[in-house]
Structure formats: structure tokens, C-alpha cells
């Protein structure tokens, strides 16, 4: 049975999650991770590892770093997670609505482009 590691280096996390150490330092600068320092070394805890995992998942969903931070900061083990889940649902709904609007805008632009292409092709055939 594998035991949970107590600490990770920046290169451990970079390798595990296929991100650069620079990205991890950026998330640290944004307040998403808070490793302890031993000289120049950063020592990450399982909590930091989980927060990085959730940050990357949120980025894949298209959430902003502030939305990700808000959601992660709401989580506390042993507490009622319903407020966090309700907020997550609200963030997802807003993001989905934004994406659907972008999709509609793109479809309208594509339709307009097709109409212009058709017109231009007709003009080319005539001339």
C-alpha cells in the first residue's frame, strides 16, 4: 500500500502535472499555493499539491484565477461543502453562458462570412 507523501519539490509537481516550474511559481505568486522555504528550495505539502491539481482543472474549464482561488479558498476539510458546491455551480453556469454567447457570435460571423464569400464568387464569375 502506497503512503501519501508529506512533501514535494517544485520539480516533483512540475513533472507530475506536466507544467513548468515557472507556472507553479506564478500560481504561488497569485496566492494559490503557499510552499514553505528552506533556503532557495520550495517545499510543497499535499495541500499545495491538491490546490495545484484543482487550479489546473479550473484552468481547463476556462475559469479565471480569481474564480479558482475563491473556490479553493472556500474549501475546508470537515466543513459543509454545500456553499462551495453551490458557488462552483454558479461559476460554471456563468462561464457556460459566456461560452454559449461566444459560440452564437462565432456562428453569426461564420454565416456572414459565407454570405460575403458567395457574393464575391458571383462577382468573380461575372467579371
Tens digits of residue pLDDT in 27-54? 999 999 999 999 999 999 999 999 999 9
Average pLDDT score over the chain = 92
pTM of the model: 0.76
Tens digits of residue pLDDT in 97-108? 999 999 999 999
Pick the CATH number of 1-75 from 3.90.550.10, 3.40.50.850, 3.40.50.720, 1.10.1660.10: 1.10.1660.10
Nearest of 30, 32, 61 to residue 49 by alpha carbon: 32
Helix runs in 1-127, H state only: 10-17, 21-29, 46-60, 65-74, 82-126
Q: How far is CA 60 from CA 24, 35, 56, in A?
A: 15, 23, 6
Amino acid at each position: 500500500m502506497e503512503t501519501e507523501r508529506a512533501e514535494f519539490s517544485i520539480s516533483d509537481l512540475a513533472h507530475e502535472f506536466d507544467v513548468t516550474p515557472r507556472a507553479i511559481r506564478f500560481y504561488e505568486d497569485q496566492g494559490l499555493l503557499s510552499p514553505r522555504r528552506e533556503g532557495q528550495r520550495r517545499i510543497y505539502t499535499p495541500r499545495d499539491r491538491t490546490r495545484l491539481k484543482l487550479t489546473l482543472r479550473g484552468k481547463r474549464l476556462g475559469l479565471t484565477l480569481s474564480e479558482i482561488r475563491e473556490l479553493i479558498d472556500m474549501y475546508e476539510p470537515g466543513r459543509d461543502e454545500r456553499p462551495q458546491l453551490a458557488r462552483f455551480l454558479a461559476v460554471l453556469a456563468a462561464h457556460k453562458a459566456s461560452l454559449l454567447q461566444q459560440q452564437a457570435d462565432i456562428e453569426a460571423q461564420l454565416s456572414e462570412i459565407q454570405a460575403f464569400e458567395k457574393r464575391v464568387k458571383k462577382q468573380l464569375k461575372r467579371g
